[in-house]
Structure 1
Amino acid sequence: MSALNGRAAAPYFDPKIGAQAISVLPGHHAVTDLPETAVTTLLGSCVAACIRDVDKGIGGLNHFLLPGEDRSDGARSARYGVHAMEVLINDILKRGGRKDRMEAKVFGGANVIDVSSKDTVGVRNAQFVKDYLRMEGIRLAASDCGGERARRVYFFPATGRASVLRLPASESRVMRRSETQLAQQAVKAPAAGGVELF
């Protein structure tokens, strides 16, 4: 059984990891229990929380653009951290997961948008998700946040393995332009280095 949500695509074979993968776009999430299947996303200042039930092997990741929640018109959007975390956790619970068996790994939050600031969107995103997990009592097993380079993340919910590929500076600059546009749209809208294993 695999659950695909929002704009998550059907599984495809990814030669970088030699396995099936499900791609998640900004503002969306995916949950799966397929063995040897990764959930993947591309992150700049955005953050992905990779969460799984360690006993059942059910899990997935979200990809949110901004910390907190959208208070503009009462609408709830997974582009914002609060809703993104709620929909991911609830989706895992609906498929038989239990919160007391969950663990999380957090990635992203690079300084690619507001590069001249110390309190960047990436920093705020990373701090938000760590605070959220602590309040919900979900153990943070690993984290790779910050820096100035975009990341491609692969998360295998069945085993909890995560791989991170840091993108070259040229691709991070492209990511900066893309994320700047997405962040502006999110606010206005109504409601590669090496591979590291975690």
Structure 2
Amino acid sequence: MSSRAGGGSASYFDPKIGARAISVLPGHHDVTQETDVAVTTLLGSCVAACIRDVDKGIGGLNHFLLPGEDRSEAGARSARYGVHAMEVLINDILKRGGQKSRMEAKVFGGANVIDVSAKDTVGIRNAQFVKDYLRSEGIRLAASDTGGDRARRVYFFPSSGRVSVLRLPASETRTMRRTETQLERKVQQAPRGGGVELF
């Protein structure tokens, strides 16, 4: 059984891994406890935290665009932002019988694909945010693959903890750069205190 996060995920058979996969869109998450089912997402400067209860094999991943939280006047909580993305993923695992003391995390993404000439990029800030968050919550970071200049496709199997990471070729990374740049503009142009539907 898996948890669909607001229509932001879809299940399909993926021949690359020879298994069923649940694809998660930016700003969403999904949790499953099914054996041999992967939760997958495509990352550029965004980050995915793959978290599971190691004893029960319940887990999933999120995909967030921006570090920190939405500080707009309306105080809208959105999984596009790291704090809320982490909270909803962890809470979904807890609701299914997971325990925080048994959780471990693996973190991926945060590539330098948007602000390529900057030293403090969105990708770097995203990766550092999630690592700091896990440390503050006492969740062990078992592995990470962040940074670089290539987009990634991540497949996470919560039942076993196995992760496969495919680095995309430069042409697909350029496509990801255009997509993420457009999303970043939409966030910046959103009226203060108002919502913006990105996906």
TM-score range, shorter chain: over 0.9
Amino acid across the alignment from 2:6: G
- Deviation per CA, 1:170-198: give whole Å up to 9, x if none: 1100000000111222333334xxxxxxx
Amino acid across the alignment from 2:155: Y
- Deviation per CA, 1:3-23: give whole Å up to 9, x if none: 111233342100000000000
**1:161 equivalent in structure 2:** 162
Once the two structures are TM-superposed, the CA of residue 148 in structure 1 deviates from its matched residue by 0.2
Runs (5+) with no aligned partner, structure 2: none
**2:7 equivalent in structure 1:** 7
Distance in structure 2 (CA, Å) of the matches to 1:186 and 1:155: 28
Q: How many matched pairs?
A: 191
Distance in structure 2 (CA, Å) of the matches to 1:143 and 1:7: 27
Once the two structures are TM-superposed, the CA of residue 2 in structure 1 deviates from its matched residue by 1.6
Asked if 1:63 corresponds to 2:58, the answer is no
Amino acid across the alignment from 1:139: R
**2:88 equivalent in structure 1:** 87
- What is the 5 A alignment of 1:118-157? 118-157=119-158
4+ runs deviating over 4 angstroms: none
**2:45 equivalent in structure 1:** 45
TM-score (norm 1): 0.94
Kindly indicate whether the alpha-carbon contact (under 8 Å) linking 2:9 and 2:29 is maintained by their aligned counterparts in 1.
Answer: no
**1:114 equivalent in structure 2:** 115
RMSD between aligned alpha carbons? Answer: 0.9
Amino acid across the alignment from 2:134: L
**1:195 equivalent in structure 2:** none
Distance in structure 1 (CA, Å) of the matches to 2:135 and 2:86: 12
Asked if 1:176 corresponds to 2:177, the answer is yes
Amino acid across the alignment from 1:23: S
**1:25 equivalent in structure 2:** 25
Q: Identity, % of aligned pairs?
A: 81
TM-score (norm 2): 0.94
Distance in structure 2 (CA, Å) of the matches to 1:43 and 1:171: 11
Distance in structure 2 (CA, Å) of the matches to 1:37 and 1:115: 35
Distance in structure 1 (CA, Å) of the matches to 2:182 and 2:164: 27
Distance in structure 2 (CA, Å) of the matches to 1:51 and 1:58: 9
Distance in structure 2 (CA, Å) of the matches to 1:186 and 1:35: 37
Q: What is the DSSP-based 3-state SS (H/G/I as helix, E as strand, rest coil) of the residue aligned with 1:92?
A: helix
Runs (5+) with no aligned partner, structure 1: 192-198
Amino acid across the alignment from 1:150: A
Amino acid across the alignment from 2:3: A
**1:72 equivalent in structure 2:** 72
Q: What is the DSSP-based 3-state SS (H/G/I as helix, E as strand, rest coil) of the residue aligned with 2:9?
A: coil
